[in-house]
Amino acid sequence: MKKILFILGICFFIITSVKALDLTQYSKASIMIEPTTNTIIIENNKDEQLAPASMTKMMTLLIIMEHVDDGKIKLSDMVTISKNAASMGGSQVFLQENMQISVEQLIKGIAIASGNDAAVAMAEHIAGSTDEFVKMMNDKVKELGLKNTHFENVHGLDSENHYSSAYDMSQIARELLTHQDILKYTSLYEDYLEKPDGTKTWLVNTNKLVRFYPGVDGLKTGYTKEALYCLTATAKKNNIRFITVTMGVDTSEHRSVDTTSMLNYGFTNYKLNTILKKEDVLGEIEIKKGRQSKGTYSVLEDVTDLIKQNENKTYTYNKELNSIKAPIKKGDVVGSLEIIDNNGKVVKTVDLVINENIKKHSIGSMFWDIYKKVVHGDI
């Protein structure tokens, strides 16, 4: 542990203007992104197809969290452990055949201790078999538009046609982070997996940076003989988050060096500038045939721009509103907004959404509106 702390301490003295290879000297491939803008800050062989080892389990966890958030499974659901799951080697949380254990406990087993047995158990629970679950994983790869990833299993043990890239791993991590509850598990350095017989298995996070680097709260390590040491990490400080990926590193210490070098560079040199907030009312739009003639619109989510620490930017906007007829629901898209910085660069184009539910005018409602105006002396 002292060795790790010494290495991490050295990493804090990086210079602010460096090349990617200076920051990730030990990684065969690496990347760092800021997830809200999806800006690539550092890259080295980002598209090279390499064995991802247990970083594969980020996709396994993504499918699981989608099912939880969609209500298809519950954290309290009990999972019966199959002979296949119980027999998994490599990293494991020592599940036994016919044991029943909750979905939440299995998520912890995957996220903290990288349990291959827990990953297989959840795959079988959701899809009926690991083969069907792997199909779901590869369908998600296509949905995310990833070009250099193909999965053969749910755990990441070496297989001939099982590969990914640093860039693709960063995008899977970015998607996984949209399910914010995952950080409740990946941020834990240690915990216990509680079994139905009252016994507990001590879980220690394979990502040691969760303990030794302030702000790190995920995501997933990996190691096999083919993949060597890998890590997809994420950290948040001062309202900005980064995702880093290192692949093909010779030692776990060097994996930590490259990861912390990238994170230090990001936190030292960049900040996130909020251009618009989702609660900001940006204007009014005419509503044809509506119970009210106008509605207000905003952006659906906060709009941010990644800029250098000493940089100040101003922005101009090109707005385009659609022709809108009632009925319309709150959150429906009513136009678009192009955001341009003071260098003339288009930072982002975002949807504009209506802030109100507006019903269509009916004959009855028209007479009712006229009646109210007469009563109040408006006519």
pLDDT tens digits, 193-239: 988 888 899 999 999 999 999 999 999 999 999 999 999 999 999 99
- 165 is annotated as an active-site residue: no
Instruction: Report the domain count for the chain.
Output: 2
If asked whether residues 148 and 283 sit together in one domain, one would say no
152 membership: H or E segment, kind and range: none
Q: Please provide residue 143's backbone torsions phi and psi, each rounded to the nearest 5 degrees.
A: -60, -35
Q: Where are the alpha helices (DSSP H) in 246-376?
A: 252-269, 363-375
Confidence of residue 56 (pLDDT cuts 50, 70, 90): very high
If asked whether residues 40 and 184 sit together in one domain, one would say yes
| Average pLDDT value for residue range 130-135 | 98
Whether 373 has a pLDDT exceeding 60, the answer reads no
If asked whether residues 64 and 206 sit together in one domain, one would say yes
Predicted pLDDT at 379 = 57
> How many helices (H) and strands (E) in the chain?
12, 17
> What span, in angstroms and rounded, lies between the C-alpha atoms of 334 and 344?
25
If asked whether residues 51 and 182 sit together in one domain, one would say yes
Predicted pLDDT at 377 = 63
Whether 291 has a pLDDT exceeding 50, the answer reads yes
> What span, in angstroms and rounded, lies between the C-alpha atoms of 89 and 186?
22
The answer to whether residue 336 sits within a structural domain is yes
The answer to whether residue 375 sits within a structural domain is no
Candidate list 27, 28, 30, 57, residue with the active-site label:
57
If asked whether residues 281 and 231 sit together in one domain, one would say no
Whether 149 has a pLDDT exceeding 50, the answer reads yes
The answer to whether residue 179 sits within a structural domain is yes
If asked whether residues 27 and 125 sit together in one domain, one would say yes
Whether 351 has a pLDDT exceeding 90, the answer reads yes
The answer to whether residue 234 sits within a structural domain is yes
Confidence of residue 15 (pLDDT cuts 50, 70, 90): very low
If asked whether residues 238 and 141 sit together in one domain, one would say yes
Whether 70 has a pLDDT exceeding 50, the answer reads yes
| Average pLDDT value for residue range 3-24 | 53
Domain that holds residue 114: 2-271
Candidate list 27, 30, 46, 54, residue with the active-site label:
54
Considering only 70-74, 81-85, 226-230, 356-360, which range has the smallest mean pLDDT? 356-360
Candidate list 30, 82, 114, 261, residue with the active-site label:
114
Name the pTM for this structure: 0.87
> What span, in angstroms and rounded, lies between the C-alpha atoms of 38 and 110?
26
| Residues whose CB is less than 8 angstroms from the CB of residue 115 and which lie 6 or more positions away in sequence, other chains included | 91, 92, 93, 95, 106, 109
The answer to whether residue 350 sits within a structural domain is yes
Q: Which of 271, 305, 336 is the last residue of a domain?
A: 271
Confidence of residue 378 (pLDDT cuts 50, 70, 90): low
> What span, in angstroms and rounded, lies between the C-alpha atoms of 154 and 342?
47
- Quote the mean pLDDT of the chain: 91
- 129 is annotated as an active-site residue: no
pLDDT in tens, 352-363: 999 999 998 765
- 164 is annotated as an active-site residue: no
CB 90 within 8 A of CB 221: no
Whether 341 has a pLDDT exceeding 80, the answer reads yes
Whether 79 has a pLDDT exceeding 80, the answer reads yes
84 membership: H or E segment, kind and range: helix 83-86
If asked whether residues 219 and 361 sit together in one domain, one would say no
If asked whether residues 236 and 326 sit together in one domain, one would say no
Give the residue among 111, 107, 116 at the shortest CA–CA distance from 77.
107
